[in-house]
Amino acid sequence: DAMVIQNPRYQVTQFGKPVTLSCSQTLNHNVMYWYQQKSSQAPKLLFHYYDKDFNNEADTPDNFQSRRPNTSFCFLDIRSPGLGDAAMYLCATSPGQPYQPQHFGDGTRLSIL
Amino acid sequence: SQQGEEDPQALSIQEGENATMNCSYKTSINNLQWYRQNSGRGLVHLILIRSNEREKHSGRLRVTLDTSKKSSSLLITASRAADTASYFCATPRNTDKLIFGTGTRLQVFP
């Protein structure tokens, strides 16, 4: 089945130690998104790629960066994680056309020690 | 913030009862979407309703949209324990972005 896969499901890192989360898709969608979701809150969009075009949200901290080396893969890099970065990180894809839903992976739960 | 508001924030019902959750949004839209999120999982798309539609059904789900009031409702009929999840409405900000509402946490007791 076509899907969005996030690895790992759980990630533990130390305060200030860089961490990379990965996402892959078999849907061949143009758009890939990264969301941060804290407990009992709505997902918050960090940035997205339309093909190779990177779109950063205005309030996304500089600590968060992303790479999309090809259509299938997208990475979220957190350069110096702080305690406030502990959250669920969700990857999603969409065809990038009107009236099309987004397809989500199961997320990576990031903990900071 | 352009984020939509949902109410109630939390809802507890018995199996077999109906569950209704409401969503209000702030800007003009061409469609509104509902998603479900099981605990510790990603979001799953449930239903999309276009701005020229007033009501849409999918299985036990019924969605209404009132663009004059900028509001939508999701009705789950004959709830099951497996319906326990958080439910989010989402509205497009442009072609390729969504703004999610604050969510309703639904608990269905057997």
Query: What DSSP line would sit under A43-107, residue for residue?
Result: -EEEEEEETTEEEE-TTS-TTEEEE--SSSEEEEEESS--GGG-EEEEEEEE-SSTT---EE---
Q: Which residues in chain B have Cβ-Cβ distances shorter than 8 Å to A25?
A: none
Q: What is the pLDDT of residues A32-69, one digit of tens each?
A: 999 999 998 999 999 999 999 999 999 999 999 999 99
pLDDT at position A80, please? Answer: 96
Q: Which residues in chain B have Cβ-Cβ distances shorter than 8 Å to A90?
A: 42-43
Considering only CB atoms, A48 lies closest to which of B45, B48, B96, namely: B96
Q: What is the pLDDT of residues B23-52, one digit of tens each?
A: 999 989 999 999 999 999 999 999 999 999
Q: Domains plus CATH for chain A?
A: 4-112 (2.60.40.10)
Inter-chain CB proximity B30 and A99 less than 8 Å: yes
Say which CATH class B5-109 falls into.
Answer: mainly beta
The candidate with the shortest Cα–Cα distance to B87, out of B9, B16, B3, is B9
Q: Mean pLDDT, chain B, as a whole number?
A: 94
